[in-house]
Amino acid sequence: MYSMVHITTSGVEESKKIATTLLEEKIVACANIIPKMESIYWWDGDLEEDVESILLVKTRSDLVDKVIDRVGEIHSYQTPCVLEIQIKTGSEDYLKWLEDALSGH
């Protein structure tokens, strides 16, 4: 089984740093960065507005806990958004590539 992990970051540079680390450690096979989104959220009782980036990474579901832990270690946020989205199905060729890219881990 495979998963995509949705991560919000302070910007493109942080997304690239996290993506590179996860890829070099071979716990994800692919990373996509959406450079800019507007975020509105509650923090410490106040309504906050911010500009963030979205980092989407693809991995095997059994590696998600490692991804979550590693992101927590290197992320600049006190409470980063790191959410697993399970992949129920996909193109066979892509899922084979995903498995091959993660082989050995």
| CA–CA distance, 91 with 33 (Å, rounded to integer) | 21
Structure tokens at 19: 């993506």
Is the whole model's pTM more than 0.85, yes or no? yes
What is 7-53 written as a DSSP string?
Answer: EEESSHHHHHHHHHHHHHTTS-SEEEEEEEEEEEEEETTEEEEEEEE
Q: How many domains does the chain have?
A: 1
pLDDT per residue as tens digits for the range 1-50 = 999 999 999 999 999 999 999 999 999 999 999 999 999 999 999 999 99
Indicate the DSSP class of residue 61: G
Q: Is the separation of the CB atoms in 53 and 12 below 8 Å?
A: yes
The parent domain of residue 87 ranges over 2-101
Does the pLDDT of residue 103 top 90, yes or no? no
CATH of the domain at 81: 3.30.70.120
What is the pLDDT averaged over residues 46-65?
Answer: 97
